[in-house]
């Protein structure tokens, strides 16, 4: 049975990450609603450690859990794909043919954000990059200096850097053009996706976005994904991707061989997970808590620590938290129900789900009970256990809490 829709749209330029990106795919799907992928590779779905099989991937696209945005040629031109220099571009009729059919089926939907597969506009990156270099000679010299330094590999994503060096050769200016072209195209891809937040899993990706966002030219910074500032103008910009990166680490740590994202996605447990991470991100946006001050593992542990079994609290199961620590965590660290208000108001999907789930629980028992993370006496499994594929028992609950605490230490 499908859960009520909760929208927390994410984006990943997955093929830029290569095989490691496809090994994270099931976690990104679980943490999103929907996940938008730019020009995914059907070939890399066959990696033995990718936990979403090609046929399951197509099902996720059909059901709207995964959206695809790509150039039209990528979506329809089998010959161009099969002759592409990158081996990952090879066309798989069972996957790419199905994706093409879904794109054609959705062409009649006027609202592009509701289409499951979207053909993006033709690239304009080279033209914009040439203009940016001409208009900002000082910025161009700064990029040239970066390219000549050892720091380049820490700030520029490897695929972008490789393309720049291949395109520009020994000409630093041409390398800068190639870098800004990638920045422009990636920014456009994020906008096409209508995503709330991109997954930037590598340190270089986040450093690159910060550097672009710091550029003085508004014509460029308006076209690339930027760290999101809080409502407090005095606060430092916040990179929400830090939070999603931590979330993927937490999901990786709690999953088991029984984790089955195909069965998890679309369930109330999936809705609760998506609502929870969306609320964490909204708290950062609306309250101005820096991502550097957010520890996702610790905050999830704080939520779970509020629960218990009939006549037995978690503190009686060998927890190392004092009553004061639990209260501080529940009230001070992450009272998401207080801070989720602005987000819920702006997103009827989240509002509907939270309203539905909270109606059954009395006030004052914490958000974890209200969104179904800890039902009254563990009489229904909550999302970490549903995701992991194991029941919430008097043994598994404290074990998970200890595991989360170890990650946050």
Question: How would you classify residue 158: left for phi > 0, otherwise alpha for psi between -120 and 50, otherwise beta?
Answer: alpha
Dihedral sign of CA atoms 244, 4, 255, 48 in order: negative
CA 110, 115, 119 angle in degrees (round to 5)?
Answer: 90
H or E stretch including 312?
strand 312-313
End-to-end CA distance of the chain: 38
Residue of 263, 262, 365 lying closest to 313 (CA atoms) = 365
H or E stretch including 368?
helix 367-370
Alpha carbons 119 and 221: distance in angstroms, whole number? 24
Q: Burial, 405: exposed, middle or buried (Cβ in 10 Å; 0-12, 13-18, 19+)?
A: middle
Interaxial angle between packed helices 54-62 and 98-105, expressed in degrees from 0 to 180 and rounded to the nearest 10? 0
Backbone angles phi, psi at 355, to 5 degrees: -60, -45
The DSSP code sequence of 80-137 is HHHT-SSGGG---IIIIIHHHHHHHHGGG-S-GGG-SEEEEPPP-HHHHHHHHHHH-H
- C-alpha distances (whole Å) from 238 to each of 13, 148, 200, 287 are 20, 29, 13, 11
The DSSP code sequence of 46-71 is GSTT-SS-HHHHHHHHHTTSEEEEEE
Backbone angles phi, psi at 198, to 5 degrees: -90, 150
Q: Report pTM.
A: 0.74
CB 248 within 8 A of CB 26: no
Tens-digit pLDDT profile for the chain (409 aa)? Answer: 444 467 889 999 898 888 999 999 999 999 999 999 999 999 999 999 999 999 999 999 999 999 999 999 999 999 999 999 899 999 999 999 999 999 999 999 999 889 999 998 777 778 888 888 888 888 888 888 989 898 888 888 888 888 888 888 889 999 999 888 888 887 777 777 788 888 877 777 777 877 776 665 544 544 444 433 333 333 333 457 677 888 899 999 999 989 999 999 999 999 999 988 888 887 777 665 555 567 888 888 877 777 655 555 454 444 443 433 333 333 333 333 333 333 333 443 444 433 433 333 333 334 444 333 444 455 434 789 999 998 877 788 888 888 888 877 6
């Amino acid at each position: 049975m499908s859960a009520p829709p909760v929208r927390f749209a994410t984006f990943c330029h997955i093929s830029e990450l290569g095989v490691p990106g496809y090994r994270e795919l099931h976690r990104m799907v679980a943490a999103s609603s929907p996940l938008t992928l730019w020009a995914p590779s059907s070939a890399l779905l066959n990696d033995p450690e990718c936990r979403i099989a090609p046929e399951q991937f197509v099902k996720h696209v059909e059901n709207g859990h995964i959206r695809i945005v790509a150039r039209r040629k990528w979506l329809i031109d089998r010959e161009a794909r099969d002759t592409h220099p990158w081996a990952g571009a090879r066309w798989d009729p069972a996957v790419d043919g199905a994706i093409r059919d879904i794109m054609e089926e959705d062409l009649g939907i006027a609202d592009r954000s509701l289409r499951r597969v979207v053909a993006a506009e033709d690239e304009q990156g080279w033209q914009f990059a040439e203009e940016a270099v001409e208009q900002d000679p000082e910025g161009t010299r700064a990029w040239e200096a970066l390219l000549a330094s050892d720091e380049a590999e820490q700030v520029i994503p490897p695929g972008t850097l490789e393309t720049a060096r291949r395109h520009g050769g020994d000409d630093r200016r041409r390398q800068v053009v190639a870098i800004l072209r990638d920045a422009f195209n990636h920014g456009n891809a994020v906008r096409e996706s209508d995503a709330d937040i991109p997954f930037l899993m590598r340190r270089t990706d986040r450093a690159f976005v910060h550097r672009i966002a710091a550029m003085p030219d508004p014509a460029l910074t308006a076209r690339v994904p930027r760290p999101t500032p809080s409502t407090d103008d005095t606060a430092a910009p916040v990179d929400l991707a830090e939070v999603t990166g931590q979330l993927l680490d937490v999901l990786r740590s709690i999953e088991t061989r029984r984790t089955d994202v195909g069965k998890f996605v679309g369930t109330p447990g999936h809705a609760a997970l998506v609502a929870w991470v969306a609320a964490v991100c909204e708290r950062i946006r609306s309250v101005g808590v820096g991502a550097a001050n957010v520890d996702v593992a610790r905050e999830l542990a704080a939520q779970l620590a509020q629960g218990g079994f009939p006549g037995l609290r978690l503190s009686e199961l060998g927890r190392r938290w004092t009553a004061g620590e639990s209260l501080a965590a529940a009230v001070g660290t992450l009272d998401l129900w207080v801070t989720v208000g602005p987000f819920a108001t702006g997103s009827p999907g989240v509002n509907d789900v939270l309203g539905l789930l909270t109606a059954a629980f009395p006030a004052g028992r914490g958000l974890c009970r209200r969104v179904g993370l800890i039902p009254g006496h563990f009489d229904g499994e909550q999302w970490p256990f549903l995701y992991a594929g194991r029941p919430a028992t008097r043994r598994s609950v404290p074990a998970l809490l200890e595991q989360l605490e170890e990650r946050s230490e």
